[in-house]
Structure 1
Amino acid sequence: MRFFAYSRFAVLFVGAVSLTLSGCDLAPNYKVPHYIYPNGWAGKGIMSNAKPADSVPRGKWWKLLGDPTLNQLEGKMLASNPDLQAASEVFTQARDLAKESESQLYPQLTASGKMSKNKASEGRIFHRNNNDSIVYESNEAYSGAATWEPDFWNSIRNSTRLQKNLAQASAADYALTRLSLQAELASDYVALRAIDAQLSVYDDSVRYFRAAVEITRLRQGGAIGAGLDVSRAENQLYAALAAQDRLQASRQVMEHAIAVLLNTVPAAFHIKPIKDSHMHFGVIAIKAGVPSTLLERRPDIAIAERHMAAASRAIGVSRAAFYPHITFSANGGFEDGGFDLASISKAFWSIAVQAVEPVFTGGLRRAALQRAWSQYRESVDNYRSVVLSAFGDVEDSLSQTKLYHQEQLHQHQAVEAALSTQAMTMALYTGGLSNYLDALVAQQDALEARLQEVVAQSSQLQATIRLIRALGGGWQVSDMPKIKDIDPFGPLQYENLDRPKDVADIKTKPEENVNNLSASVQTAHKP
């Protein structure tokens, strides 16, 4: 009875100590760095302290371009792109690692049982046929065991929080991958339509150049033009045809890149070209005001911040290594040489408490702690670097969208002037009032101006897409899964464990036909 009284006292004492020490968090107090920005940035750049909530497109931002084909392609890409689905699996694995770490907070229970029927050899040593030594023997045993390590120094809790912070970083990485793919597809599609517009420009120019060849030949036949004019006109025509062939090759390569993004073999994919020398996209107007809340709208900044939070938890884990690790264990059961376990005398059990404190490790724990601090400071420096790069991306894109728009307006004026010059010089040549060299130069200038107008429009659209991407595409930190939602399954869930429950907007179940790489997409476009 005295033994059991002591045992109860020990259990109560250890429980009280556990409750007292379980709040001993050795991780440093984590705070996100706050940076000092120029006051209003007035006159020091394009960016200002305006709120971007009303200016940054949310959700399916590419729909603002007003192209139904692009909308269809973006939807297919989000449903079947293998890189995006792989990113969702990385997030799933991060959630499972967090759950594995969290499981160490709870007692670990095991159970075992065995039954055996054994026969001894009658030819063994010391056995005689006339003695009573046992030849047959039966054995049956059932046992259970429990081990538990109280998290006195929050080592397990900090490891769990570390893994959950990394899982949040994986969720932000998924968002970054999705935004990058969305922007890449939109950029490739705009480039494809720019090629279509340039091909239409070449079609117009080739028709004009063919007419010029006929005019020079007629003038040569009438002895009022030189053969040199004919050869110059033919050179201009064939050079334009050659450039058109090269542009067709570029279009097919761009089309192949889009097919790969859509989980489709390029040979089974085609986007019908548009026979129009102008690009018909909606105008996306984004205000120049971008505040410090950009830090909450970029997935890459969120990734760096979550890694920083995880690194702070790693310090707590390293600090806990300096304190004793205490483990409670108990096991017991029944064992009998036959098949009779009804008697309490057949029971066995043991209770143990183990405390481990490394006395001398040659600086192992101190080195680990110093490394954890260094890794934390490295993550802080990396966070600042990512923030600076983010502001640089936005500033670059804002500058480009503004100046590329001006370039587009000026280039359109250049096209009008070049076309007017081309018409006048050709009329003068036809009337015998000018030489063909002037007409040839005017034709080259008109072609180049029209091609550059398409390039200017494409560049302005590409810069707008880059700006949307630099602003996070409407994503914000609140879209990232909360710590409480990281667990991939419920506490009593033992079914449907092949895939975790969905969290936030991260889908872990792919479309049923993702293995079909031959889905042909014949798209039409109505400007």
Structure 2
Amino acid sequence: MKRFTLALIPALAPLLFAACTTVGPDYHLPEQAAVKSPEANGPLPGAGNPAVSIAPVPDGWWRLYDDPRLDALVQEALAANTDLRVAAANLRRAIATYHEVEAENLPMARVEAGAQRGEIAAEPLLHEEKIPVMNFGNVGFGVSYLIDFFGKLARADEAALAGAQASQAALDQTRVVVAAETARSYVEGCAASHELSVAEHQLALQERGVELTRRLVEAGRGQPLDLLRAQSQADSLRAALPRLRAGREAAAYRLAVMLGKPPAAGAVQDYACHAIPKLSQALPVGDGAALLKRRPDVRQAERELASATAKIGVATADLYPSISIGASAGFTGILDHLGQAQTAHWGIGPAITWNIPTSGTRARIHNMEAGADAALAHFDGVVLKALRETDTALSAYTHELERNASLRAARDKADQAAHQNRLLYEAGRAPYLNSLDADRTLANNDAALAASDGQVAMDQISLFLALGGGWQGAPKVHEHLATERSRHESDHESDHEGATAGTH
């Protein structure tokens, strides 16, 4: 056996010397990654529009609307939204996993004790007579420490930490979505109320026209057909009201759910809003480089790539032996003699275990390498998606502003035409059909402009969502790690105090 051990040492020596470096690839972003391309880091298309600016996106972008109610609703949603609660729990789970992996770097201790009554065989002890039944006992303590020669534990720590950081980014992304969807629900309610107010105003004007036409018919100055046309136009305007009321109520229900409340709690009067919020300045968009640094989903995908890369090292370390050092001491023997010198035992020394690599180990390494390639492809896809969403939202916003300006000009001209036709009809200088057509045109332009005002606001929210702001106020992963570590230390101290108390 001694000769075998001496022969094994030269065979293992190269492996021990190779352990000077951590196995597996060190993480770095490939040069061909989409996030490094010049096109991804340049100015955003459409950023030269006067309605936007290249200023940095503020942390709380919703405060640019200078609407205290909107600010309060977003803050409430960030504190109570159910999706945020799920994301926060996932982060705590990822942090606990990291601490679990981190604990593998610490010495492992064990305490054992046992007692039994039994009989041992006499022949192995070279006794010919039967050994009487006795009480046996065992008390021992052992400690071992795994020496991370090949960096398996270090790579596992890297993977777990990157996983926790990815969960932090997922939480940040959820905050972005919650802030944007809360603002969107609020603005949708405002837009529906605004469109409803416009429609009710147009209906009131038309009903006054119906009353005027009725008087003219009764006085013999008008035709009954004119009265039917006026009533038909009023009915058409009245038919649009239920749809707008339903839209306002649906927005209130969505807003209640975003706040973590049942939909029935979203009473319309609680979130009443009649004026669509407007920005007090040009919408800040920054540039492509700032966008990719700010978007939490990009950061999440990058951290997932880092974790996948570290897992290659974890799998590669299985090609090499596991080396640990340990010590143990205790008493084993007849129960009445425990604690005496003849029952004492102890030992200290290193231990080497090596599961000789098979094709399965190589397959696991290839599995992890393929996972890293997939993570890189996913990362590139997230980067491209972020740029596409932002460019699309910016294009939709700037073009809707142009459409809105044209609709406003058309509405102003239709208002003038309707007013002049109304005066001519009342003076008997033009047929009622001319006035009716002018009023119908004005009503259509009013409705189109109100819908466009709402769409402009919706496009602003979509653009802010694509820009990825609104998460910066959340605690960072290192703060969560410190908090969890303090809690684990407190739990450990409590367990130690409990164990100490139990020995007295």
TM-score with structure 1 setting the length: 0.79
Cα distance change on mapping 1:484 and 1:156 into 2, 3 Å: farther
Matched, 1:299 2:296: yes
**Deviation, structure 1 residue 220:** 2.1
Give the equivalent residue in structure 1 for 2:149. Answer: 152
How many angstroms apart in 1 are the aligned matches of 2:372 and 2:410? Answer: 56
Cα distance change on mapping 1:482 and 1:375 into 2, 3 Å: same
Candidates 168, 177, 181, aligned match of 1:180 = 177
**Deviation, structure 1 residue 299:** 0.3
Does structure 1 retain, via aligned residues, the 8 Å contact 2:173–2:471?
no
Matched, 1:283 2:280: yes
Which amino acid letter does the alignment assign opposite residue 152 of structure 1? F
Candidates 352, 361, 383, aligned match of 1:365 = 361
Range moving further from structure 2, 416-425 or 485-494: 485-494
How many angstroms apart in 2 are the aligned matches of 1:483 and 1:100? Answer: 18
Give the equivalent residue in structure 1 for 2:37. Answer: 36
Which amino acid letter does the alignment assign opposite residue 413 of structure 1? A
1:7-39 deviation line (CA, Å, top 9, x unaligned): xxxxxx9xx999966642122132224523249
Write the mapping of 1:180-219 to structure 2, written as runs, cut at 5 A.
180-219=177-216
Candidates 318, 323, 328, aligned match of 1:321 = 318
Candidates 401, 404, 407, aligned match of 2:400 = 404
Give the equivalent residue in structure 1 for 2:139. Answer: 142
Give the equivalent residue in structure 2 for 1:58. Answer: 58
Which amino acid letter does the alignment assign opposite residue 389 of structure 2? D
**Deviation, structure 1 residue 193:** 0.3
Give the equivalent residue in structure 2 for 1:9. Answer: none
Which amino acid letter does the alignment assign opposite residue 425 of structure 1? N
**Deviation, structure 1 residue 72:** 1.5
Does structure 2 retain, via aligned residues, the 8 Å contact 1:284–1:464?
no
Matched, 1:77 2:73: no
Write the mapping of 1:244-393 to structure 2, written as runs, cut at 5 A.
244-272=241-269, 276=274, 278-287=275-284, 289-350=286-347, 353-359=351-357, 361=358, 363-393=359-389
Cα distance change on mapping 1:283 and 1:491 into 2, 3 Å: closer
Candidates 432, 449, 453, aligned match of 1:436 = 432
How many angstroms apart in 2 are the aligned matches of 1:323 and 1:477? Answer: 45
How many angstroms apart in 1 are the aligned matches of 2:241 and 2:205? Answer: 14
Does structure 2 retain, via aligned residues, the 8 Å contact 1:297–1:474?
no
Candidates 435, 439, 455, aligned match of 1:459 = 455
Q: Secondary structure at the match of 1:58?
A: coil
Cα distance change on mapping 1:440 and 1:339 into 2, 3 Å: farther
Does structure 1 retain, via aligned residues, the 8 Å contact 2:57–2:286?
no
Structure having the higher helix fraction is 2
Give the equivalent residue in structure 2 for 1:91. Answer: 91
How many angstroms apart in 2 are the aligned matches of 1:364 and 1:441? Answer: 81
Does structure 1 retain, via aligned residues, the 8 Å contact 2:321–2:353?
yes
Candidates 478, 488, 495, aligned match of 2:491 = 495
Cα distance change on mapping 1:112 and 1:482 into 2, 3 Å: same
Q: Secondary structure at the match of 1:321?
A: helix
Does structure 1 retain, via aligned residues, the 8 Å contact 2:22–2:151?
yes
Candidates 407, 418, 432, aligned match of 2:414 = 418
Cα distance change on mapping 1:290 and 1:417 into 2, 3 Å: same
How many angstroms apart in 1 are the aligned matches of 2:482 and 2:162? Answer: 9
**Deviation, structure 1 residue 313:** 0.7
How many angstroms apart in 2 are the aligned matches of 1:57 and 1:497? Answer: 45
Does structure 2 retain, via aligned residues, the 8 Å contact 1:191–1:458?
yes
**Deviation, structure 1 residue 57:** 3.6
How many angstroms apart in 2 are the aligned matches of 1:281 and 1:293? Answer: 25
Does structure 2 retain, via aligned residues, the 8 Å contact 1:47–1:288?
yes
**Deviation, structure 1 residue 395:** 1.6
How many angstroms apart in 1 are the aligned matches of 2:341 and 2:487? Answer: 35
How many angstroms apart in 2 are the aligned matches of 1:102 and 1:432? Answer: 91
Matched, 1:449 2:438: no
Which amino acid letter does the alignment assign opposite residue 72 of structure 2? Q
Range moving further from structure 2, 348-357 or 81-90: 348-357
Q: Secondary structure at the match of 1:32?
A: coil
How many angstroms apart in 2 are the aligned matches of 1:479 and 1:379? Answer: 26
Q: Secondary structure at the match of 1:494?
A: helix
1:198-235 deviation line (CA, Å, top 9, x unaligned): 11111211111111111222222233322222222212
Which amino acid letter does the alignment assign opposite residue 55 of structure 2? S
**Deviation, structure 1 residue 40:** 8.9
Does structure 1 retain, via aligned residues, the 8 Å contact 2:53–2:283?
no
Give the equivalent residue in structure 1 for 2:123. Answer: none
Q: Secondary structure at the match of 2:208?
A: helix
How many angstroms apart in 2 are the aligned matches of 1:203 and 1:139? Answer: 94
Mark the runs of 5 or more structure 2 residues left unpaired by the alignment: 3-9, 120-129, 495-504
Q: Percent identity?
A: 25
Q: Secondary structure at the match of 1:334?
A: strand
Aligned-pair RMSD on alpha carbons? 3.5
Cα distance change on mapping 1:297 and 1:288 into 2, 3 Å: closer
How many angstroms apart in 1 are the aligned matches of 2:356 and 2:306? Answer: 28
Candidates 387, 406, 427, aligned match of 2:423 = 427
TM-score with structure 2 setting the length: 0.83
**Deviation, structure 1 residue 402:** 2.3
Mark the runs of 5 or more structure 1 residues left unpaired by the alignment: 4-12, 121-131, 499-527
**Deviation, structure 1 residue 180:** 0.4
